[in-house]
Amino acid sequence: MATAAAILSLYLLFIFEGEVQQLLGNLMGSGASHDTIRVFYLILLSILGYVLVRALNALIFGLAFRLRRGFEAPTLVRNIFSILAFTLLFFLVFSRLYPNVNLGALFTTSAIFGVILGLALQDTLGNFFAGISLQADRPFQVGDVITVGAQRHTGVVEEITWRAIKLRTFQNHIVLINNSTAAKEAIEVGPRGNLNARVVFFNTLYTDSPAKTIHVVREAVREADNVSIKIPPIVRIRNLGDNGVEYEVKYWLEDYAKYNDTDALVRQRIWYAFRRAGLNFAYPTRTLLVERRTHPGVRDGAGGAIIERLSAVDIFAPLSAEETAMLAGAAVSHVFAPGETVIHAGDPGSSMFVVHNGRVCVQVSENGRPRTIATLGEGDFFGEMALFTGEPRTAHVVALEETEVLEIKHAAMKRIFDTNPDLVESLSHIISERRQGLIAPAETSTRGTDASAGILSAIKRFFGLS
């Protein structure tokens, strides 16, 4: 509206120049000279020209840009437009008011002056043209977080003017970086609309389980404010260091400009999550560990839990309390990470395992692909087939999560069999049933009892039982 009004007024001023000047003369009284009237006419034209350029600027680079691109045009572009528009208006008005003055000649004669001015304004012009090339390239926009140059100035871009980039640092300071300097330096950009990532580091003691640590930290970080829910955080071990296991957590931010606060919040959440989960930060210390071991693999204080676990295993139900305690004393504990293989099919094996904590799956290969035939949890056992028959392992057993198993070796089982001959029979039934599960459904036969009898005699032979 303002633009249209300004254009119309300027047009009318040009068309009715004589009438307007006469009107001005009347207004100023009879004493006003012709030159004074022309000066007032010029002032009127200038005011209207100024309003027109401002209005056009707002219309094109404010409104139209926002509608088409979603943001206002940079200050530099607006300034260039204004300079060009004012120059054009100046030529128009000047040639209208002083048609006899040759502007071309005037500019030619001032060429030497122009060279002198150019040399004097070398830096300023350098900044100006670097600013234009930055605008053309558009490597970043207002609102992006950038890090510039060797001094690594980091902040949010507030403005790009014809002279400099204006950054607001995270200390709320303003840093001005000359366009020509920025054009020469490497610029790291965290675009505003992009999911930018950050990495935070922490260390744990070697005694803390990596699977548990990774799970606890991932859950703690994903719930922190400003952490994007679009990509789950990644927690991984980056080094087995002198002072503990070194981890990094990588997370993506909704608003990258707040990364300092979010890093701090993430560290805080990790601290509380560690506290709740009983995990420990490692710091540069040297610890002298004095360990009294009752039996390799069985940790102090864990003996009771192992006896409890073994007495709940159905095949060991007939054992006396002393026999279960003896078995627990002979058991060796092993911890496996999620996805680790506990038993490889085809390997020889002389021990069986009881799942103490966690879960495993039993897999056979079918057409080169693994097929899960059973999932075993706490209190279940596996590996008994090779142990009792002396044959190679029949299947792969893989940990599904962090899993602690208790290994029982041939010698310990032999002692148990000597005093519990009936145990062999119940085991032979279990082994027979499991063997049926190993065969693909189409091949399943009904020879259950025959197979069980065969296994029974195989176990007796292998363990030298009568």
The correct pick among 397, 405, 408, 416 for binding ligand CMP (CB under 6 A) is: 397
Instruction: Please enumerate in sequence order all residues whose Cβ is within 8 A of that of 102, keeping only pairs 6 or more positions apart, or say none.
Output: none
Residue closer to ligand CMP by CB (options 12, 440) is 440
Question: Where in 312-331 is the site for ligand CMP (CB under 6 A)?
Answer: none
CB of 437 to ligand CMP, least distance (A): 2
CB of 459 to ligand CMP, least distance (A): 13
The correct pick among 204, 262, 324, 394 for binding ligand CMP (CB under 6 A) is: 394
385 in contact with ligand CMP (CB under 6 A): yes
CB of 344 to ligand CMP, least distance (A): 9
CB of 389 to ligand CMP, least distance (A): 8
The correct pick among 54, 359, 409, 434 for binding ligand CMP (CB under 6 A) is: 434
CB of 208 to ligand CMP, least distance (A): 30
395 in contact with ligand CMP (CB under 6 A): yes
Residue closer to ligand CMP by CB (options 66, 344) is 344
Instruction: Please enumerate in sequence order all residues whose Cβ is within 8 A of that of 307, keeping only pairs 6 or more positions apart, or say none.
Output: 324, 325, 328
74 in contact with ligand CMP (CB under 6 A): no
92 in contact with ligand CMP (CB under 6 A): no
The correct pick among 437, 454, 458, 463 for binding ligand CMP (CB under 6 A) is: 437
384 in contact with ligand CMP (CB under 6 A): yes
> Stretches 260-268, 286-294, 329-337, 430-438: which one binds ligand CMP (CB under 6 A)?
430-438
> Stretches 7-15, 163-171, 201-209, 387-395: which one binds ligand CMP (CB under 6 A)?
387-395
Longest dimension (CA), the chain: 143
The correct pick among 373, 453, 458, 465 for binding ligand CMP (CB under 6 A) is: 373
Residue closer to ligand CMP by CB (options 191, 448) is 448
The size of the interface with ligand CMP (CB under 6 A), counted in residues, is: 17
Residue closer to ligand CMP by CB (options 157, 397) is 397
Cβ 159 vs Cβ 151: under 8 Å: no
Q: Cα dihedral angle (208, 209, 211, 216), rounded to 10 degrees?
A: -40
CB of 334 to ligand CMP, least distance (A): 15
> Stretches 36-44, 95-103, 257-265, 433-441: which one binds ligand CMP (CB under 6 A)?
433-441
Cβ 167 vs Cβ 153: under 8 Å: yes
CB of 218 to ligand CMP, least distance (A): 31
The correct pick among 41, 336, 382, 417 for binding ligand CMP (CB under 6 A) is: 382
Please state, as a whole number, how many other Cβ atoms lie within 10 Å of the Cβ of residue 197. Answer: 16
CB of 453 to ligand CMP, least distance (A): 19
Question: Where in 332-351 is the site for ligand CMP (CB under 6 A)?
Answer: 343, 349
Closest residue to ligand CMP in the complex (CB)? 437
Place of tokens 């693909």: 440
> Stretches 111-119, 389-397, 410-418, 440-448: which one binds ligand CMP (CB under 6 A)?
389-397
Residue by residue, what is the 3-state secondary structure of the chain? Answer: CHHHHHHHHHHHHHHCHHHHHHHHHHHHCCCCCHHHHHHHHHHHHHHHHHHHHHHHHHHHHHHHHHHHHCCCCCHHHHHHHHHHHHHHHHHHHHHHHCCCCCHHHHHHHCHHHHHHHHHHCHHHHHHHHHHHHHHHHCCCCCCCEEEECCCCEEEEEEEECCCEEEEEECCCCEEEEEHHHHHHCCEEEECCCCCEEEEEEEEECCCCCHHHHHHHHHHHHHCCCCECCCCCCEEEEEEEECCEEEEEEEEEECCHHHHHHHHHHHHHHHHHHHHHHCCCECCCCCCCCCCCCCECCECCCCHHHHHHHHHCCHHHCCCCHHHHHHHHHHCEEEEECCCCEEECCCCCCCEEEEEEECCEEEEEEECCEEEEEEEECCCCEECHHHHHHCCCCCCEEEECCCEEEEEEEHHHHHHHHHHCCHHHHHHHHHHHHHHHHHCCHHHCCCCHHHHHHHHHHHHHHHHCCC
Rounded Cα gap, residues 145 and 151, in angstroms: 15
Residue closer to ligand CMP by CB (options 202, 382) is 382
The correct pick among 438, 453, 458, 465 for binding ligand CMP (CB under 6 A) is: 438
CB of 375 to ligand CMP, least distance (A): 9
Residue closer to ligand CMP by CB (options 80, 430) is 430
Residues that bind ligand CMP (CB under 6 A): 343, 349, 362, 373-374, 382-386, 393-395, 397, 434, 437-438
